Structures are given as structure tokens and as C-alpha cells.
Amino acid sequence: MLSKKGIPHLTIDAEIRKKIGFLKGWLLKLYFTITPLEKDELCLQMISVSSKARGKGIGKKMLDYLEAYAKSDDSSQITLDVIDNNLGALKLYEREGYRVTKHINTKIFTRGMGFDGIYIMKKAIG
């Protein structure tokens, strides 16, 4: 999912609520509602590469495409979030120039899902 200011960047639909529970779903919605976007900022909400295809440069290609799109859209930065136990994704994002700007401790709500927090990462687009 990709979003811009003025466009809700997370929809907690029935399928997600089934997977993570009604309360956790609405708390995540609240978190994303109170994390405003700048007017020229793109927010990458979800990205995934099949476990069988990891390590083949596909994630990097997707990020390269996103950056090219951001430049053509006159965006000044890309923001994304990643759960704190996804070390492979964190390393990829850091190699591609994203920097952690914030860590949000969510373990009271997410420990049962296997992670304790979310890193917010940003990259300036030049």
C-alpha cells in the first residue's frame, strides 16, 4: 500500500480484524491516524517478498521503483514502517538509505504476534 497526505494510508478491514483481533486492529488504526504525513511525503505501508524469492534483489528492485515513482510525483521523502524483529528488512532499508526516525513500543498489543515494536524509517528523495 502506498499513500499520500489526505488519503488514509491504512484501512483496517474485516479480514485484518479477523487476523489480529478487533481491539488490536483499531489500536493500529489509531496509531496510523495520529502519524500524520507531510504534504509531499509518500508512505509505504506494506511490502513483501515471498520467502522463496528473498535474497534475489527483488525487494531492492521494488524500492528502486518506489523511489523513481516518488521523484516523478515530486515527493520529498518516503516513510515506511517495519516491525522490529524483521532484521532482513531493516538491513535492506538501511542499505538503501532509509534511517530510523522513531521506535514505537507496541509489545502490550503485539507480543502475541511475535514483535515488540515498530521502527519508523524515512528516506529523503533528491
pLDDT band at 37 (very low <50, low <70, confident <90, very high): low
Q: How far apart are CA 77 and CA 79, in angstroms?
A: 7
**Residue 20: domain span:** 2-124
Phi, psi of 85 (to 5 degrees): -100, 5
DSSP for 44-81, written as a single string: E------GGGTTSSHHHHHHHHHHHHHHHTT-SEEEEE
- pLDDT tens by residue, 47-65: 778 888 888 888 898 899 8
pLDDT over 80 at 32, yes or no: no
Q: How far apart are CA 6 and CA 45, in angstroms?
A: 15
pTM of the model: 0.72
Hey, what amino acid is at 76? S
pLDDT band at 6 (very low <50, low <70, confident <90, very high): low
Q: How far apart are CA 125 and CA 98, in angstroms?
A: 10
pLDDT at 2: 55
Of the chain, the percentage scoring pLDDT greater than 70 comes to 70
Count of the separate structural domains present in the chain: 1
Q: What angle do CA 90, 96, 100 make, to 5 degrees?
A: 45
pLDDT at 104: 87
pLDDT band at 30 (very low <50, low <70, confident <90, very high): very low
pLDDT band at 119 (very low <50, low <70, confident <90, very high): very high
Looking up cell 538491513 gives: 91
Q: How far apart are CA 74 and CA 118, in angstroms?
A: 27
- pLDDT tens by residue, 62-95: 899 889 988 988 889 998 889 899 999 999 999 9
Q: For residue 32, give the CATH number of its domain.
A: 3.40.630.30
pLDDT at 22: 47
Show the 3-state SS of 80-101: EEEECCCHHHHHHHHHCCCEEE
Cα-atom radius of gyration of the chain, to the nearest Å? 15
